[in-house]
Amino acid sequence: MEIKNPAIKAFSYAGVYVGAVIGAGYASGQEVMQFFSGYGLIGIVGAIITTLMFIWYGSVFMELGNRLQTCSHRDVLEYLCGKKLAFIGDYVLLFFMFGCVSIMFSGGGAAINEYWGLSVMTGKLIIAAMTLATVVFGFSSSVRALGIVSPVIIFSVIAISLVTLNEHYDQLATVDNSLQNLTPTLATPLWWTSAVVYVSYNVSLATSTLTAIGGKEPSLKVLRKAGIIGGVALGMCLLFITLALLSDLNNVIEYQIPFLQIAQNISPLVGILFSLVLVIAVFTTAVTNLYGCVIRFYDSKHHPVKFRTLTISLVALSLLASLLPFSTLINVLYPALGLLGMVIMVCALYKTVTGQVFLKTNAKLQPVSKANIVDQ
C-alpha cells in the first residue's frame, strides 16, 4: 500500500537515507573512532560539520532526482560532472555497491555466527533472504522496511550513549590529555579533512538511493523535509557515538567494534541486544546498495520481471562473491570512490550556489519553470 500522508512520506524517505548511510561500520563505532573521536574533543566540531553536510547533500540529491525526473544516479552525475566523468563514476559506484552487498552478506554471516552460534553460511543466507525479499517487492517495500528499522538503530545508539555519558561524563574533561598516551588510528592527519572525507565516502554510495527517492516523489517539500530529517538523524547519531567513545576512550580504543564494547560494559543483555542492532544495520546497508544497483538498469514499475530477475541474480552473485577475498579490490578502488565523492560534492555545491536548476526533457537539459514542479 502506497504511503499518502506527506509527513509520513518524509519520515519514511529519511529512514531510507539513514539506512543507506549508517551501515554496520557507522553503528559499530570503528569509523567514528577513526574519523572523529580519535582527534579528541575537536572531533565533536567535526561531527557537527558533518551533520550540516549530511543535511545539505541529502536534500540536494533527492531534489535533483525530482527535477531531472530520473531514478538513475548516472543522469545526476552527468548533469553535475559531465559525460566523461559520469561514465567513469557510474561504474565505480556500481562496483562498490555490488561489493558492499557482498561484504554485508559476509559481515552479517560472521556476526550471526559470533553472537548466536549459527554457521557463517546460515547467517549469510538469512541476510541475503531478508535483503532479497525487501528489494524484490519494489521501492515502496524498501521505503517501509527501512523507515521502520532505521529509527531502531538511531534510538538504540542514542540510548546506549546517554547511559555511557551519564557514567563517564567526567572523563570528557581529560580526554585530550589521555590521547597523548594513546595511538588511535586516524583517517586523515587533520580533523576537519576527516569530516569532509567521511561525508564524501558515505554519501557517494547513497547517491543512487537518494536519486531514486527524488525521481519517484513529486513533492519537493516532502523531499526537502526528508533530507533535513535524515541529515539531522544521522548527525545526532554520529554526535552521540562520538561523545560516548570520548567519555570511555581508554577502555574501548583497542577494540575492533568499540561501540559494541560500550554496550557490553553496560550489561551483557544490552550487548546482546546491540549485536542484533548491528545485524539490522548490515541489512539496511545491503538493501539500499542492492536497490541502487538494480534501479540503475531497470525500474520496477515499467520492467517488473527484469527488475526482479536482476535482483535475484545479483543476490546470488553477491553470495558467491562473499566467499572471495574482496578486500584487495576494495582497497585499490577505495581512494577512487573517495575522490569521486569529493568531485560530486564540489560540483553539487557549485550548482547549488549558482542556482542552476534544470529539467531533463527530450534528452536535453532544459531550464525548469515553476509550473513543472509539484510543490505541495
Domains with residue ranges and CATH for the chain:
6-372 (1.10.4160.10)
Residue 369 CB partners (closer than 8 Å, separation 6+): none
CB contact at 8 A, 117 and 288: no
CA distance linking residue 24 with residue 90, whole number of Å: 24
pLDDT (tens digit, 0 to 9) for every residue of the chain, 376 residues total? Answer: 466 788 999 999 999 899 888 876 677 888 899 899 999 999 999 999 999 999 999 999 999 999 888 888 889 999 988 888 888 888 888 888 898 898 889 878 877 887 788 898 999 999 999 999 989 887 676 777 777 788 888 999 999 999 999 999 888 988 888 888 888 888 888 999 999 988 888 878 788 889 989 998 999 999 999 999 999 999 999 999 999 999 999 888 888 788 988 999 999 999 889 988 888 888 888 988 898 899 888 877 788 899 999 999 999 999 998 887 655 555 555 666 777 888 888 888 888 888 764 444 334 444 443 333 333 3
The grid coordinates listed for 299 are 525500474
Instruction: Count Cβ atoms below 10 Å from residue 36 Cβ, excluding itself.
Output: 29
- At residue 333, the pLDDT reads 59
First to last CA, the chain: 21
0.75 exceeded by pTM: yes
Cα Rg of the chain, angstroms: 20
User: Which residues lie across from 366 on neighbouring strands?
Assistant: 359
CA distance linking residue 114 with residue 111, whole number of Å: 5
Tell me which residue of 248, 234, 264 sits closest to 158, measured CA to CA. Answer: 234
In 15-30, which positions are buried (b, 16+ CB within 10 angstroms) versus exposed (e)? bbbbbbbbbbbbbbbb
